[in-house]
Chain A
Amino acid sequence: MIPRATSSVLRQARTQLQPRGPTPVASLSALARFLSSLAVLEQRDGKLNHGSLGAVTAAQRLGGSITGFVAGGNIKAVAEEAAKVSGIEKIIAVDNAAYDKGLPENFAPLLVENIQRGGFTHVIAGHTAFGKSLMPRVAALLDVQQISDITAIESENTFVRPIYAGNAIATIESSDEIKIITIRGTAFTAAEAEGGSASIEDGVDPKAETTTEWVVENLAKSDRPDLATAGRVVSGGRGLKSKEEFDRIMLPLADALGAAVGASRAAVDSGYADNSLQVGQTGKVVAPQLYLCAGISGAIQHLAGMKDSKVIAAINKDADAPIFQVADVGLVGDLFDKVPELTEKLKQ
């Protein structure tokens, strides 16, 4: 363990001393040498969550050295998986089952200790349930104002993020010494899971007490692609009228397209679809190649979750529905006729 730690310390010293090749952005090149990012990676049951590798992509755009962070019980396999991710120089791993469920009460002090020991300038995590719950707590412990849900990086201290449900895009500059950042997954695709060869180092474990314990989880099981990262999404709204109809009309269409299933808040609140399928400001933000929706009027809260999709197609019987203002392809008609017809024709 000691030789491993020593070699990685040397490695870190080297990366800080050696000037890097010319960087296209002039303002970044001088700083890149001093920049060091910590990408907080997620794991579940001993498997790396590849969705969380977007943090590595964001770190690559910043330049500078990249360290990955993983914690949990029997973390070795996850650390080895993470070590292969392209672009990462070092993995800090903390082996302790107390971190398996990502409870912020002990995970935040853990991260703070490792951030301070490693002297990182940027700490990046996904704007996922895990990141959203954990990172503000980390930021407060470090006395830093976090930057949430960024969609672009302009320089090492300037970032772009949507506000007002995506109705405005703000460019903001941080004066904090450590930048605590969460990223929007659809804006930073996951880094390559192969091609890297990072060293693995044990992190410090402050073993903070927590007054919170994990009790149970209830996750919707699905064989379909994951909503947040799917290439195609079909989504249904209030127009579906019932859960039975939602399942009868939308699921075959999803299968014909190999798409994930989403829903509007109205459909979720009426019990037609599970909460986890909600697309919008308060649900998932998606940006697939194709977003095909039926029976959705297009309220601004819904548009916030899907308007960055490459192609939007809409079927609605109301020709004046706001969804048609953003749809690349609109079809006015009764979804109970049109969607099954579309499904049949797509199958051929």
Chain B
Amino acid sequence: MSALRILVPVKRVIDYAVKPRVNKAQTAVETAGVKHSMNPFDELSIEESVRIREKKSYGPGVDTIIAFSCGPPKAQDVLRTAMAMGADRSIHVEIKDGEEVEPLSIAKLLKAVVEKEKIDLVMCGKQAIDGDEGQTGQMLAGLLGWGQATQASKVSFEGEKNVLVEKEVDGGTETVKSRLPMVITTDLRLNEPRYASLPNIMKAKKKKIDKMTASDLGVDLTKRLKTIKVIEPPPRKGGGKVEDVDGMIAKLKELGAL
């Protein structure tokens, strides 16, 4: 096995700290004029890939880290961020503003890139915080017939072939051993992503972004799911405050919770 070629898919999403609003027509969440940034789980994927290189935790080393994004022209911003954090170059599959691509299609695009770029490790975020689907990494592993480890909280290597991944599961953690090539999806406790430094942001401007279209990769982006409507969840009205512990117990009894 030679040095690792890592692919990191990143998504541009509404910033996690922004409270999303449903548009007036109830067809989608309002995205115009709203702050966007890289999906937080994808930051973890970039960070982990860069750490594998820096800490030399994989014997033969890391050959290249490629960031990938399928999104509108502005998705380039998150690719620049990924490169400022340490990715070597990027691939951008450009789509129109407002167009959405489903996880299955993204997985097919990624499969094409994996084959074209001879990738042996794909680091995905466990889910994007807009659609909350949590599918892409597993779908890609399925399409490639590769091993997968989801919700990783620790990744280590054993020799040139084996990868040990501690995964977060209901009730605790589980460790699996898989062989390269494989797909890993990252969870919050995997690492603490770095901030891109100003010099690195400047350097990232010189790194290359390859633009391509879905048809260049031979993938049809037709959607299987149609959004009928999007609504705000029924608002909860706070029931007000009580003065003391006795008041709290009395109110809870009144509400039938005790």
Q: Is the CB of B173 within 8 A of A275?
A: yes
Set of chain A residues within 8 Å of B255, measured between Cβ atoms: 311, 328-329
For A326, what are the chain B residues with a Cβ–Cβ distance below 8 Å?
236, 238
Contact residue among A135, A138, A165 (Cβ-Cβ distance under 8 Å from B132): A165
Closest-CB distance, A96 to chain B (whole angstroms): 18
Give the segment of A59-67, A80-88, A339-347 that binds chain B.
Answer: A339-347
Chain A residues with Cβ below 8 Å from B148 are 104-105, 133, 137, 212
The total of chain B residues at the interface (CB under 8 A) is: 81
Residues of A within 8 A of B171 (CB): 219-220, 276
CB distance from A172 to the nearest CB of B (A): 5
Minimum CB–CB distance for B181 against chain A, Å? 9
Task: For the complex formed, measure the closest distance between the CB of A165 and the CB atoms of chain B, giving whole angstroms.
Answer: 6
Rounded to whole Å, the gap between the CB of B249 and the closest CB of chain A is 6
Contact call B225/A147, Cβ cutoff below 8 A: yes
**Is A129 an interface position by the 8 A CB rule?**
yes
Most chain A beta-carbon contacts within 10 A, residue among B19, B140, B229, B257 = B257
Which of chain A's residues 157-175 have a Cβ closer than 8 Å to chain B? 158, 162-175
Which of A145, A214, A331 is close to B248, meaning CB atoms less than 8 Å apart? A331
Q: Is B170 an interface residue (CB 8 A)?
A: yes
| A contact residues, range | 35 or more
CB pair A103 B176 closer than 8 Å: yes
- Interchain nearest-CB distance for B88 vs A (Å): 27
- Roughly how many angstroms separate A346 CA and B133 CA in the complex, as a whole number? 41
Residues of the A chain whose Cβ atoms lie less than 8 Å from the Cβ of B168: 129, 275-276
Q: Looking at the complex, which one of B173, B232, B249 makes contact with A169 (CB distance below 8 Å)?
A: B232
Residue A74, interface by CB 8 Å:
no
Tell whether A123 is near chain B: CB-to-CB under 8 Å: no
Q: Residues 122-150 of chain B: 1 if any A CB is under 8 Å from the residue's CB, otherwise 0?
A: 00001001111111111111110011111
Of residues B148, B179, B231, B243, which shows the largest number of chain A Cβ atoms within 10 Å of its Cβ? B148
Quick one: CB contact mask for B223-258 with A, threshold 8 Å, 1 for yes? 111111111110010111111111111011001111
Q: Does B187 contact A (CB under 8 A)?
A: yes
Interface presence of A286 (CB below 8 A): no
CB-based contact B225/A145 at 8 Å: yes
Inter-subunit contact B230/A168 (CB<8 Å): yes
Shortest CB distance A226–B (Å): 8
What's the least CB distance linking B140 to chain A, in Å? 8
Q: Are B132 and A149 in contact (CB under 8 A)?
A: yes
B104–A148 contact, CB under 8 A?
Answer: no
Chain B residues with CB below 8 A from A162, complex form: 132, 233
Give the residues in chain B near A165, CB-CB below 8 Å: 129, 132
- Say whether A307 contacts B170, CB under 8 Å: no
Min Cβ gap A311→B in Å is 4
Instruction: Fill in one digit per residue for A133-147: 1 if any B CB lies within 8 Å of its CB, else 0.
Output: 111111111011111
> Is there a chain B Cβ closer than 8 Å to A300's Cβ?
yes
Residues of A within 8 A of B228 (CB): 158, 171-173
Interface residues of B in 99-127 (CB under 8 A from A): 102-104, 107, 126
Q: Does chain A have a CB within 8 A of B195? A: no
Chain B CB within 8 A of A186 CB: no
Chain A window 251-294, contacts with chain B (Cβ cutoff 8 Å), 1 for yes, 0 for no: 00000000000000100010000111000011010000110000
Quick one: given A275-B168, A307-B236, A313-B257, are A218 and B173 in contact (CB under 8 Å)? yes
Q: Note all chain A residues with C-beta closer than 8 A to B238.
A: 324-328, 330
Complex Cα spacing A51 to B71, Å = 38
Decide: B139 and A137 in contact? CB cutoff 8 A. Answer: yes
Taken together as a complex, chains A and B put the C-alpha atoms of A162 and B29 apart, in Å, by 12
Q: Is the CB of B129 within 8 A of A215?
A: no
For residue A324, which residue of chain B has the nearest CB?
Answer: B238
Interface assignment of B214: CB less than 8 Å from any CB of chain A: no
Residues 93-134 of chain A, each 1 if its beta carbon lies under 8 Å from chain B, else 0: 000000001011100100000000000000000001100111
B151 touches A108 (CB 8 A): no
- Asked whether A171 and B229 contact (CB < 8 A) given A104-B148, A345-B245, the answer is yes
Query: In the complex, which residues of chain B have a beta carbon less than 8 angstroms from the beta carbon of A284?
Result: 170
List of 4 A-B pairs having minimum Cβ-Cβ separation, nearest first: A136-B138, A219-B172, A140-B142, A140-B139
